[in-house]
Amino acid sequence: MRILELKQLDAFLRRRRVALDRAEAVARPIIDDVRKRGDRAVEEYAHKFDNYDGPLRLGPVEMRRAWQAVDASLRRALRESARNIEKFARWQRPKSWMRAVSPGVRAGQIVVPLASAGCYAPGGRFPLPSTVLMTAIPARVAGVERVAVACPRGPLIVLAAAHAARAESLYPVGGVQAIAAMAYGTRKIARAERIVGPGNIYVTAAKKIVAAETGIDFIAGPTEIVLVAEKGNAGHIAADMMAQAEHDPAAVAILLTPSRALARAVAAQIGPQWTNCAAVLTRSLDEAMEVSNRIAPEHLWLADPRLLPRVTNAGSIFLGDHSPVAAGDYASGPNHTLPTAGAARLRGGLSVNDFLKVVTVQQLTPRGLARLAATVVELARAEGLEHHARSIEARFK
């Protein structure tokens, strides 16, 4: 870990920016091949990249067997995590409503779930059953009828998590071929209306390519954490930084602090081998918050909860010494599928809303339409849309 001046921050962040164009060049022909040859292409790429030659779809029977095969302690952990994720997702779900805009004019919205969702769970360096829970459970809470999970080779622990999340199917394939198959559909892998979940740079590139024809959550890069503190437990801060940095060599963990003493104490806990960790010295906490908002980090940890009103950009926020990011990664309830690389300027993390359509509804009585008629006719003719105006007038002849 290094201690940097603020002017060195951009250079440190630049090291984690991986251009998608090279990954897209690799992903595009695979996507085209899967689209053209379907299951045969998926099977060939699964063998080539993951040394997998098994079935392309596993169902409830296989998931139930996996659930029974894992340790009872793991089942308890999966149940508790699933319960909290589901509870939080239910709180997030928007409601349908109708209200009177004016006499005789009622308007509102209905909330409609997507028909299908494809949830991608990485399986390269580490299998991530927590990602299965974080993606499939909000889809189920939304009311999505068909929820499928894709994960390379379908490890036992991932199958067990898919059972806990009530997924319908698990496709034991990964990478670009899994994204392409869920985007366009094959004989054995059903098309998904929205594909969600993190992955490596090639999965990210594939999601970007298929986004023109199917829904995705967002383009996500390597994980990141920003911590803002003037004082605190150096051991706890160091532990949280290393927890995120261990995900990927391209991940970044940054402590923003006006305290050189705290920066040195944290650096002493981490050591020089963690080159993706850095403490950045700022002139004040105010400047630290300004820098954090410019970074728009995936995870933001604040030593002092009173700083919360100053946050404008973050994927998810963790307040105080007893709120480590790892708690949110697994079990506290909010989703851990979060925007990275500055995308938190535009949106928050995955939620039940990603699997819903909010459809507006309008109902006018004769009296209500009469009250609006002059306004609509005037505006329609101002825009040169004569038949819009006549569609109103026809009802009063």
Give the active site residues.
Answer: 298-299
- Which tens digits make up the pLDDT trace of 290-309? 999 999 999 999 999 999 99
Is residue 36's pLDDT more than 70? yes
Check: CB of residue 3 under 8 Å from CB of residue 281.
Answer: yes
Is 187 in the same domain as 313? no
pLDDT value at position 21? 81
For residues 241 and 371, membership in a common domain is answered with no
Is residue 160 a contact partner of residue 66, using CB atoms and an 8 Å limit?
Answer: yes
Instruction: Say whether both 203 and 232 belong to one domain.
Output: no
What average pLDDT does range 19-43 have in this prediction? 94
pLDDT of res. 271 = 84
Model confidence at 17: pLDDT above 70:
no
The reported pLDDT for the residue numbered 219 is 87
Give the per-residue pLDDT at 16: 56
Res 18: pLDDT? 57
Range(s) of the domain holding residue 157? 20-95+114-218
Among 194, 218, 242, identify where a domain stops.
Answer: 218
Residue 75 resides in a domain: yes
Q: What percent of the chain has pLDDT over 90?
A: 90
Task: Give the distance between the most distant pair of CA atoms in the chain.
Answer: 84
pLDDT at 15: 61
Residues 25 and 127 in one domain: yes
Q: What is the mean pLDDT of the chain?
A: 95
**Tokens 């020089």 correspond to what residue?**
272
Give the C-alpha separation, 341 to 219, whole Å: 9
pLDDT of residue 32: 98
Q: How confident is residue 103, by pLDDT bands cut at 50, 70 and 90?
A: very high
| Number of domains composing the chain | 3
pLDDT, tens digit, 9 for 90 and up, residues 48-79: 999 999 999 999 999 999 999 999 999 999 99
What is the tens place of the pLDDT at every residue in 167-176? 999 999 999 9
45 with 152, same domain: the answer is: yes
Where residue 354 falls among pLDDT bands split at 50, 70, 90?
Answer: very high
Cα–Cα distance, 29 to 306 (Å, whole number): 50
Percent of the chain residues past pLDDT 70, beyond the cut: 98
Mean pLDDT across the stretch 117-125? 89
Residue 46 sits in the same domain as residue 174? yes
pLDDT digits (tens, 9 = 90+) for 172-225: 999 999 999 999 999 999 999 999 999 988 999 999 999 989 999 998 878 999
Q: What is the pLDDT of residue 146?
A: 98
Residue 134 lies in a domain: yes
Strand pairing class (316-319; 299-302): parallel
Question: 385 and 262 in one domain?
Answer: no
Does some domain include residue 343?
no
Read off the CATH number of the domain in which 11 is found. 3.40.50.1980
Answer with the one of 218, 241, 272 that is the final residue of a domain: 218
Whether 61 is covered by a domain: the verdict is yes
- Please identify, among 177, 192, 218, the residue that sits at the C-terminal boundary of a domain: 218
Taking a C-beta distance cutoff of 8 angstroms, is the pair 196, 215 a contact?
no
Per-residue pLDDT, averaged over 388-397, amounts to 96
119 domain-assigned:
yes
Angstrom distance (rounded) from CA 17 to CA 295: 13
CB 217 within 8 A of CB 350: yes
Euclidean distance between CA atoms 87 and 293, whole angstroms: 29
Nearest to 227 by CA among 330, 309, 317: 317
Measured in whole angstroms, the distance separating CA 388 from the mean position of its chain's CA atoms is: 41
Q: Express each pLDDT in 357-374 by its tens digit.
A: 999 999 999 999 999 999
What is the mean pLDDT of the segment spanning 216-238? 94
Identify whether 106 is part of a domain: no
Indicate if the pLDDT at residue 3 is higher than 70: yes
Which region among 122-131, 140-149, 206-215 has the lowest average model confidence (pLDDT)? 122-131
Shared domain for 77 and 192, answered yes or no, is yes
